[in-house]
Amino acid sequence: MFKFIHAADIHLDSPLHKLDYYDGAPVDEIRQATRRAFNNLVQTAIAEEVNFILIAGDLYDGDWKDYNTGLYLVSQTIRLRDAGIPVYMVAGNHDAASNITKTLRLPENVHLFPSNQPATHTMDSLNVAIHGQSFATPAVKKDLSLLYPTPLPGYFNTGLLHTCASGREGHEPYAPCTVEGLRSKGYDYWALGHVHQHEVLWDDPWIIFPGNIQGRHIRETGPKGCVLVTVDDRGRPKIEFKPLDVIRWVIVTVDSNGAESGYTVIDRFCSRLETILDENEGRPLAARVLIQGETPAHSELLANVDRWGNEIRAAALDTSGHKVWIEKIKFHTRLPVSEKDLQISDGAMGELVRLFDELTGKPELLRELSEELIDLEKKIPKELKQGPDGIRFDDMDWIKSLLAHVRPMLIQRLIRKEGFE
């Protein structure tokens, strides 16, 4: 029997761009998070007495700002060497041979696969063969696995590969391959990297993305860590996911349906946050809060977004004991609109309802609206247009979402004005 750890996408000292734009962000803690998560990886390897570690690319986050990144890595790999644990790794797109200009010699227990062709390392005492190839450039578009060698008879054969597999949303299409192609190699385990979400592509043989070891922004939510693999005397692997992250990114969705006041919404937020803290075992959280639903408190909330946003931040501090930092709060509420209201067909009300229905149902009208709004975009501050949540008047889906948000609010205002209540 033997054990090994499969990890990937460490992104040591990732700069976490624009983090300091957020009010109250624990900048130093989050910037140190990748190192602390790597500390957890090393400690887990030593505590579990693993026989070796596989790192499937993107150990770094590009060229180092200074040599401290390299010195830190040397110190951690020395810990592993002293524990008798070798490390086998491939370079991914972020740490390709052409991308890293600063280097330091690593201890002799660290083995980096070449970038010019696939190679094989063997651990004869365990009958283990590890096959891999590093990225030579940041953008490798060919299937590297095609040239991986045939499995060694009598050995537990593992393929170490940085790849997008058959393609994953949000990840560059580097070193594409297929599950069928990997299975055809006849290996016992495929240790993949590049995709930051933990995913099992196949279980016979195991073909696995462990995900990154530490989430770095709101698009990397949920537990992050590594895979611990225990291989029994018959060569059968047992898989266990091991969380390593020190700060976890989460989305806290609060159902505001029927809430009579802003304070009712705050109470629901606190209840939901308590549940999420329990689910994440009390780990420090970086949270985005989404308040959504039909609520009579809609006007109250939107009339003073700054006030209610800070009420939520204060409630988070109180509920969590300072373990939760609120990254952003988004109010996606709307006023309740009854079927009776929507059935009004005369006058301004009927015109408004019909206009919204036409806009959302006819792409050509959405495009016309988009063109009208683009002139307005020039007057909007740059910061409101940046990032995944920025204003996007050229995005038809974004405009449809905006229409869905304002439709009930305008109808309610018109109802009050025309005395339909």
Q: Is there a single domain that holds both residue 227 and residue 274?
A: no
Q: Is there a single domain that holds both residue 125 and residue 216?
A: yes
Which of 308, 336, 364 is the last residue before a domain boundary? 336
Which of 179, 212, 243 is the last residue before a domain boundary? 243
Statement: residue 319 has pLDDT above 70: yes
In this prediction, residue 100 carries a pLDDT of 78
Number of domains into which the chain is organized: 3
Q: For 34-67, give one letter per residue: b (16+ CB within 10 A) or e.
A: bbbbbbbbbebbeebebbbbbbbbbbbbbebeee
Going by pLDDT thresholds of 50, 70 and 90, the confidence category of residue 90 is very high
Q: Is there a single domain that holds both residue 62 and residue 108?
A: yes
Statement: residue 334 has pLDDT above 70: yes
What pLDDT digit, counting tens, does each position of 221-269 carry?
A: 999 999 999 999 999 999 999 999 999 999 999 999 999 999 999 999 9
Task: Look up residue 396 and give its two tokens.
Answer: 């038809």
Q: Is there a single domain that holds both residue 120 and residue 236?
A: yes
In this prediction, residue 421 carries a pLDDT of 43
Q: Is there a single domain that holds both residue 60 and residue 137?
A: yes
Statement: residue 404 has pLDDT above 80: no
Q: Is there a single domain that holds both residue 290 and residue 418?
A: no
Q: What is the CA angle 200-9-151, rounded to 5?
A: 55
Exposed/middle/buried for residue 286 (C-beta within 10 Å: 0-12, 13-18, 19+): buried
Region of residue 198 (phi > 0: left; psi between -120 and 50: alpha; otherwise: beta)? beta
Output the pTM of the full model.
0.82
Statement: residue 418 has pLDDT above 80: no
In this prediction, residue 188 carries a pLDDT of 98
Q: Is there a single domain that holds both residue 287 and residue 386?
A: no
Q: Is there a single domain that holds both residue 230 and residue 266?
A: no
Q: CATH no. for residue 119?
A: 3.60.21.10
Q: Is there a single domain that holds both residue 60 and residue 104?
A: yes
Q: Is there a single domain that holds both residue 188 and residue 321?
A: no
Question: Residue by residue, what is the 3-state secondary structure of 121-175?
Answer: EEECCCCEEEEECCCCCCCCCCCHHHHCCCCCCCCEEEEEEECCCCCCCCCCCCC
- Write the DSSP symbol of residue 249: E
Going by pLDDT thresholds of 50, 70 and 90, the confidence category of residue 414 is low
Mean pLDDT of the region 366-390:
69
Which of 315, 336, 357 is the last residue before a domain boundary? 336
Q: Is there a single domain that holds both residue 11 and residue 89?
A: yes
Q: Is there a single domain that holds both residue 196 and residue 113?
A: yes
Q: What percent of the chain is predicted at pLDDT more than 90?
A: 65
Could you tell me if 328 and 288 are in contact, meaning their C-beta atoms sit under 8 angstroms apart? Answer: yes
Domain that holds residue 405: 337-421
